[in-house]
Amino acid sequence: MNDSARPSEVNAFQQVAPYYDTLMQGIPYIWWFHYVEALMDKLGRKADTVLDLCCGTGNLTQLFAINGYQSTGIDVSEPMIERAKQKALETDLPIYYEAQDASQFELDRRFDLVVSLFDSLNNLTDPDALENCFRQVKAHLNPEGTFIFDLNTEYAFTQKMFDQKDRKPSSPIRYLWTSRYDKKSRLCQITMNFWVTEDGEEKQFVEIHQQRAYSETEVQGMLQRAGFTRCQTFNAYTLKPPTRRSDRVFYAAY
């Protein structure tokens, strides 16, 4: 499950927002942070200011702030942003958050680094929206700025990576996710059933998420048209190039 960009389904990342941090408590955000820094080191890039695009409840944004970066986070889900703001207040971290659409965001500042992780941009299922997102990122980067993001590949969708479940009674939030991938449209629809127990009663809700598979060729072309002149790709969480069996690809554009 990813942080959000502009999901096709109107209910995505709304009902789950209060439980998101509980659901994601096993996610290695600190590892992601160090991986971004490793990519920056490999590319010889530097950054003091960072925008976390599709930041969700701000878990990664907080790590950047804790490690000395001037941090900003945006996400289309207002409930997620409200939770991120509350966490920043509780930890006394000077992070600026705003609810905005990743495909057409506008901020009054530029950044050394823009990141968007955990397949958030796959949620932009309209190719024009993704390309416009890249244009907005480019417009918000300093001249020597870097854009690092990841995308699920078509291989990931055909392998049904979103088919997951945890129905253990001891789990604070139980879930059953099923996916359906259409090779022609390259759209993957994920039906996410959740169960939580509150005040001794079980509550169930459903969110429908949709992602699109983009090829490296497509993405490289979009980045070039958006004004990026260089882009390197990596098999997820390594410094090696992607393979045809890569389920997630990282892009570093500048």
* Average confidence (pLDDT) over 106-110: 97
pLDDT of residue 7: 39
User: 162 and 230: one domain?
Assistant: no
Spatial CB neighbours of 109, under 8 Å, sequence gap ≥ 6: 49, 72, 140
Last residue of some domain: 210, 225, 243? 210
Considering only 9-23, 37-51, 58-72, 91-105, which range has the smallest mean pLDDT? 9-23
User: 225 and 240: one domain?
Assistant: yes
Instruction: Give the other-Cβ count within 10 Å of 138's Cβ.
Output: 17
User: Does residue 2 lie in a domain region?
Assistant: no
User: Does residue 94 lie in a domain region?
Assistant: yes
User: Does residue 43 lie in a domain region?
Assistant: yes
Q: Which residues pair with 182 in a beta bridge?
A: 187
User: 86 and 108: one domain?
Assistant: yes
Q: Which amino acid is at 84?
A: A
Number of domains in the chain: 2
User: Does residue 95 lie in a domain region?
Assistant: yes
User: 110 and 122: one domain?
Assistant: yes
d(CA 87, CA 62): 9
User: Does residue 5 lie in a domain region?
Assistant: no
User: Does residue 196 lie in a domain region?
Assistant: yes
Q: Decide if pLDDT at 162 tops 60.
A: yes
User: 103 and 44: one domain?
Assistant: yes
Exposure class string for 2-14: b at 16+ Cβ within 10 A, else e = bbbbbbbeeebbb
Q: Decide if pLDDT at 47 tops 70.
A: yes
150: left (phi over 0), alpha (psi -120 to 50) or beta: beta
User: Does residue 8 lie in a domain region?
Assistant: no
User: 189 and 231: one domain?
Assistant: no
User: 230 and 134: one domain?
Assistant: yes
d(CA 153, CA 2): 14
pTM of the model: 0.93
User: 149 and 118: one domain?
Assistant: yes
Q: What is the domain-level CATH number for residue 56?
A: 3.40.50.150
User: Does residue 12 lie in a domain region?
Assistant: no
Q: What is the domain-level CATH number for residue 191?
A: 2.20.25
User: 108 and 230: one domain?
Assistant: yes
User: 112 and 228: one domain?
Assistant: yes
Residue 9: pLDDT band (50, 70, 90) is very low
Range of the domain at 173: 157-210
User: 26 and 99: one domain?
Assistant: yes
Winning range, highest mean pLDDT, from 59-73, 159-173, 194-208: 59-73
Residue 8: pLDDT band (50, 70, 90) is very low
Helix, strand or coil for residue 49?
strand
pLDDT of residue 103: 96
User: 134 and 59: one domain?
Assistant: yes
